[in-house]
Amino acid sequence: MDLGELTEKAVRSIDRETEPLGKGDDGIVYLINEKVVLKLHRGIRRQGKAPYFYHGSSRDSAEHEFNIGMELYQHELQVPQFYGLFEPRRSSPLNCWGIFMERITGTCYKELPGWLKKEVRRQFKDQERLIIRLDYKQIDSYSDYNTLFDRQKRKLYLYDFVRWERSHGFRQK
């Protein structure tokens, strides 16, 4: 994927009226083309006592998630492929950092029939074992949250790693 082309397409096609594919506490996801999405990071501004509440700019947030996503993908976890970082443009509504990543066409857990939910939970437990081996604490990722199931491929995908941290040295205060 050519990051320059993806960036230009994002800047040309996304404005204040563009309907996002999804929104969350930490970012907004826009469709760039049939295979690529752009997740724009807000940076997390929550107050909290737990050490996993990430405080930082949209750049810190995007870089953090990008680095974790790349590592998970390189270790063959079921995550989208990450293509690169998006740097904000001052003269555009795209004024925060983001990540270009593979578009996953999937279904949310709650919309799946019971027999597929069983498959999702099994795949999630397999992924969980790999995540633990990589020494990550998977904050806010569960079989029914921050996952999509691709029915055609019969594959569960994990996404949204902005709150994940290394387990090593993790201390609850």
Span 41-64, pLDDT tens digits: 986 545 444 444 445 688 999 999
Q: What average pLDDT does the structure give for the chain?
A: 88
Residue 57 confidence (pLDDT): 83
Average pLDDT over residues 134-161: 92
Q: What is the DSSP string of the chain?
A: --HHHHHHHHHHH--TTPPPSEE-SSEEEEEEETTEEEEEE-------SSTT-----HHHHHHHHHHHHHHHHHTT-S-PPEEEEE---TTSS--S-EEEEE----B-GGGS-HHHHHHHHHHHHHHHHHHHHTTEE-TT-BTTBSEEEETTTTEEEE---TT-EESTT----
Percent of the chain with pLDDT over 70: 88
Question: All domains of the chain, ordered by start, with CATH?
Answer: 3-166 (3.30.200.20)
Range among 1-5, 79-83, 138-142 with highest mean pLDDT value: 79-83
